Amino acid sequence: MNFLFRAAFALTVVSAFAAEPPSSADQIRRHLEAAQQALRANQPAKAIPEYEAVVKLDPRNLDAQVNLGTLLFFTGDYAQAAPVLRGAVARKPDLWKTVALLGMSEKRVGDAHAQTDLESAFEHLTDDKIRVQTGLELIEVCYGAGDLNKAASVAGVLRQLRPADPEILYTAHRIYADLADETTLALVMAAPDSARMHQIMGQELARHGQTEAAIAQYRQALKVGPQTPGLHFELAELLAQSGAKADQAQVEQEYQAALAANPTDEKSECRLGDLAFRASNLKAALDHFTRAVSLAPDDAEANLGLGKTLLSMHEPAKAMPLLERAVKDDPTNAVAHYRLGIAYRSAGKPQDAARELAEFQKLKALREKLGDVYKGMMMKPGGHDAAPDADAPM
C-alpha cells in the first residue's frame, strides 16, 4: 500500500509540474521572438498581437509599447495607436519620433492635442525625412485652424531643409497666397484709398502684365502718399517696361527720386548704373556701381554691374573677382556667368571661360522655359532680374 501511495503521489507531483505555465519572462521572450519573426516576414498585422501580449504581461516594457504604437499607426489604426503612443511618451517625453507619430495619430482622429505634439516634435527632430513629414502635417493642422502665420513659419523651415521639393514649394505658395489675400482684405477694410492700397493694386496689375494700369495706380499712390517708401523705385521699374516714350523719359527721374528719399538705396544705384552703362557713359556707371558695392558688398547685382563696367573699360583683372563674387552669391544669374566667361577668356583661362559660357547657355534656356510658363499664366516674372537683361547677349 505504501508503495502504491508513494507512486501515485509522485505521478501527481510530476503532472502538476508539467501543467505549470511557463514563467512571465519566458512568455515575453516568446512573444518578442514571434513579433520579430512576423516583422522579418513583412507581416506587421501578426506582430501587433505579440507586442500587445508583451505590454499586457509587462506594462513597463517601453520598447514593446513604442513598437506596438508604431505598428498600429502604420497599419492605419490611429484610434488605437494614439493611447499606446501617449503612454510611451508619458514615460519618456523626449522620444521625439514617437511624439511625432502621436501627433499624426491625434490629427487623424481629430484630437485637439495634435498641434501641440506636432510642434514639440518638429522643434526637436533631427532626422530630415521625418521632420519634413511632421512639418507638413503640422502645416495642415495650422492651416485648418486658420493660423497662417504659424503655417508660414513652418513652411519657411521646410524650404531651408528641402529648397527644391515640389510639395513643400506648393504648400508654401498656397500659404503665402492666402496670407497675401488676407492682408489685402484687411487693408481694404482699414484704408481703401491709402497709398499702400494703390501700391498693392499696382503690384497685382503688374503681375498680370497690365503695365499701363499699374503705372496709373502708382501715380495715384504717390499723389496720396508722396513720402511712402518704395513707391518711386517700383514706379521706375514699371516705367522701364512701358513702351511709351514719355514713360521712358521719366525712368531716371524716378530712380533719382528714390535715391533722394533713401540715400542707401543700393538697388536704385544699380539701376542708375545700368542706365548709364546702356548710354555708354562708363564713368557714370562706374560711380553708381562702385557706390552700390560699397552699400551692399555681397549683392550679386551690384558686383555684376561693377564687374561688367570694368570689363568694358578693358580691366578684366579688376572685373574678375567682382564677377566671381556675383556668381557665388547668385549662381542662377545667367548674365553673371556670361560676363565671367568673357573675363576668363580675356585673362587667358580658356577652360574656365568655357565652363562659365556653358553654364550661361544652360541658364538662358531655363530662363526661356520659365518665361513660357509665366506667359501661359498670363503673368510677368517678379523682380528686375527675372526679366531679360537688356545688356545680356542673347
Q: Output the pLDDT for position 6.
A: 39
pLDDT at position 30, please?
94
Cα–Cα dist 357/363, whole Å? 10
pLDDT < 70 regions, the chain:
1-22, 372-394
> For residues 114 and 106, is the Cβ–Cβ distance under 8 A?
yes
Taking the CB of residue 175, how many other CB atoms lie within 10 A of it? 22
Amino acid 23: pLDDT: 75
Residue by residue, DSSP assigns 178-226 as HHHHHHHHHHHHH-TTSHHHHHHHHHHHHHTT-HHHHHHHHHHHHHH-T
Contact 70, 101 (CB under 8 A): yes
The string of pLDDT tens digits covering residues 36-67 is: 999 999 999 999 999 999 999 999 999 999 99
DSSP structure class, residue 389 = P
Q: Which of these, 198, 276, 273, 271, lies nearest to 233 by C-alpha position?
A: 271
Please choose, from the candidates 212, 161, 169, 219, the residue with its C-alpha nearest in 3D space to the C-alpha of residue 195: 219
pLDDT at 279: 96
**The one-letter amino acid at 389:** D
pLDDT of residue 31: 93
Amino acid at 121: A
Sign of CA dihedral 116, 119, 124, 128: positive
Whose cell is 512568455? That residue is: 27
Where helices occur in 296-378 by DSSP H, the ranges are 300-312, 316-329, 334-346, 350-376
139 near 109, Cβ under 8 Å?
no
Rounded Cα distance between 48 and 63, Å, is 13
pLDDT at 21: 56
DSSP type of residue 262: -
Are 308 and 288 in contact by the 8 Å Cβ rule? The answer is no
How many other CB atoms are found less than 10 A from the CB of residue 202?
25
Q: Domains of the chain, with CATH numbers?
A: 60-168 (1.25.40.10), 179-262 (1.25.40.10)
Phi, psi angles (nearest 5°) of residue 231: -65, -45
Chain position carrying cell 513583412: 42
Within 13 Å, how many C-alpha atoms sit on residue 277's CB side?
27
259-290: pLDDT as tens digits: 999 999 999 999 999 999 999 999 999 999 99
For residues 233 and 249, the answer to whether their CB atoms sit within 8 Å is no
